[in-house]
Amino acid sequence: MRVFLCLVLIFLSGCREKTSQDLTQGKETPGKNTSSIHYAKGFEVENIEDGLTLIKVLQPWPNATKPFTYALVDKDASLPSSFEQNAYDAVVSVPVERLVLTSTTHIPAIEALGVANRLIGFPGTDYISSELTRERISQGKVVNLGNNESINTEMTLQLQPDLVVGFSISSENRTYETLIKAGIPVVYNGDWTEQTPLGKAEWIKFFAPFFQLEEKADSIFDSIANSYAEARELASKAEFKPSIMSGALYKDVWYAPGGKSWAAQFIRDANATYLWNNTEEVGSLSLSLESVLAKASGADFWISPSQFTSYIDMENANRHYGQFKPFQKQKVFTYALSKGETGGLTFFELGPNRPDLILKDLIHIFHPEVLPGHTLYFFKPLQ
C-alpha cells in the first residue's frame, strides 16, 4: 500500500515556507537546546552530552512491540571510548547533508527547516505536491526511487545517502534491512500514528536534530501551536454549534473517523458537534448506510466525503447520498480538490504539519463570521 493511500485511511481513522537552501546556513550548536516534547507521544529527544543526542521512537507503527533508539553524533565531536555503537538501532553523523525520505508528510518539515536541498531521493515522487520540491525534482536533484513498498535498493545505494527516514506499517521491511546491512542508517518516523493535531505537527522536532536545528524547530512549532490555540479560542465564541458528518461508502461499508481520532479533534476544536463524537475508536468506524442515514440525514455539514470532488460523481456512485441534508443544501466540503502539479493531495502532505490551517478552514466553513477573511486552503466546496 502506497504512503498516499495509507494516509487516506489514517485520516478516516484517525506551510510551505520557502527559505534559503544554503547548506551551512542556520547551523546551531548541537545539544544546547534539546527540544522538549509537549504533544507528540511517539518520540523522545535526549541530549546526552555535547556532540551526542539520542532520539527514541516509541511507536513507529501501531502496536509496535519495542522502541527504536538512534544516536546522532556530531561530525566534529570526539566521543569517549565508552561509546558503544552496537547499542543503538542506528548511528547517524550530523548534520545530515544527503537525505532520502519515504513519506510526503516528511517534506514540509525539511522545507520549513530550510534544508529541502538535502533531499536527494524519494520513492514515488509524483505524490509530492510542494512547489519547491517539485522544482528540484524537475531539475533532476531528487531521484525517483520507485515506490515505498518496494523502494529501489540499488538506486538508493548508488545515491549513498547519509540517512534514510523510513515509513512502515510493520516490522517486516526487507528493503530497509538491505540498506542497513549496506551501512546506510535507516530511522523510522511514526508521525502518522499520532492521534492529535499538534502531536503530528510536533514531529518537526524529530527532524531538527539531524540538521542541528533544534531551536529553529522549536520556534516554528511554537508559532503553529499558538496559531492553532488562537483559532480555537475564536471558534469557541461562536454561538451556533453545527452538526457534522464525515466519510463515505466503500462497497457496502461507510467508513468515518472514530470519536477519538485526529479528524474528530479538529471538528471539536472548531466548535462543532461531530455526530460520532461519543465513540471511543481512535481509528475508523465501520458503519452501515442505514445507521448513517438514521443518525446524520439532518446534519448541517458533510466534511471529507472520501475522494469525491463533485455532487454528480457522488450521485452516480450511490443515489442514497442525495438523502442527506448537506448534499441537498450543497454543504459538502472536500480536501480532494486541493492538488499538487502531479495530482498529489496537499492535505495529506502539508496538513499534518500545519493543523492550524486545517482548523481555520473548518472554522471558516462552520462559523464564517468568526474568520471572515480566511481563504480556504485544504477544504473546498464540492463541485
Single pTM value for the model: 0.89
CA angle 338, 344, 350 (to 5 degrees): 70
CA-CA distances (angstroms) from residue 326 to 43, 322, 374? 40, 9, 22
Distance CA 296, CA 257 (A): 14
Which pLDDT score is estimated for 35?
58
Report which DSSP code applies to 342: T
CA-CA distances (angstroms) from residue 21 to 52, 91, 116, 155, 239? 25, 25, 7, 25, 46
The answer to whether 201 touches 354, Cβ cutoff 8 Å, is yes
Through-space distance between the first and last CA atoms of the chain, rounded to whole angstroms: 29
The answer to whether 43 touches 64, Cβ cutoff 8 Å, is no
Distance CA 7, CA 352 (A): 10
Which pLDDT score is estimated for 207?
98
Which pLDDT score is estimated for 151?
87
Which pLDDT score is estimated for 149?
64
Distance CA 25, CA 113 (A): 10
Give the amino acid at 84.
E
Nearest Cα residue to 62 out of 134, 178, 168: 168
Per-residue pLDDT of the chain (383 residues; tens, 9 = 90+): 344 444 444 444 443 333 333 322 333 443 444 458 999 999 999 988 878 999 999 989 888 889 999 999 999 887 777 778 888 999 999 999 999 999 999 999 999 999 999 999 999 999 999 999 999 999 999 999 987 667 899 999 999 999 999 988 877 788 899 999 999 999 999 999 999 999 999 999 999 999 999 999 999 999 999 999 999 999 999 999 999 999 999 999 999 999 999 999 999 999 999 999 999 998 899 999 999 999 999 999 999 998 899 999 999 999 999 999 999 999 999 999 999 888 889 999 999 999 999 999 999 999 999 999 999 999 999 99
| Sign of the CA dihedral running 196, 199, 201, 206 | negative
* 3-class secondary-structure state, position 68: strand
Distance CA 284, CA 2 (A): 19
Report pLDDT digits (tens) over 243-283: 999 999 999 999 999 999 999 999 999 999 999 999 999 88
Nearest Cα residue to 129 out of 4, 269, 30: 4
Q: Which residues pair with 163 in a beta bridge?
A: 99
Show the domains of the chain with their CATH numbers: 16-226 (3.40.50.1980), 238-381 (3.40.50.1980)
The answer to whether 314 touches 327, Cβ cutoff 8 Å, is yes
The β-bridge relationship of strands 186-188 and 243-246 is: unpaired
Distance CA 238, CA 91 (A): 51
Distance CA 44, CA 264 (A): 26
* 3-class secondary-structure state, position 148: helix
Which pLDDT score is estimated for 29?
40
Q: Extract the C-alpha cell encoding 295.
A: 443518525
Which pLDDT score is estimated for 49?
80
Distance CA 261, CA 151 (A): 30
The β-bridge relationship of strands 68-74 and 90-94 is: parallel
Q: Which residues pair with 164 in a beta bridge?
A: 100, 186
Nearest Cα residue to 31 out of 79, 87, 72, 63: 72
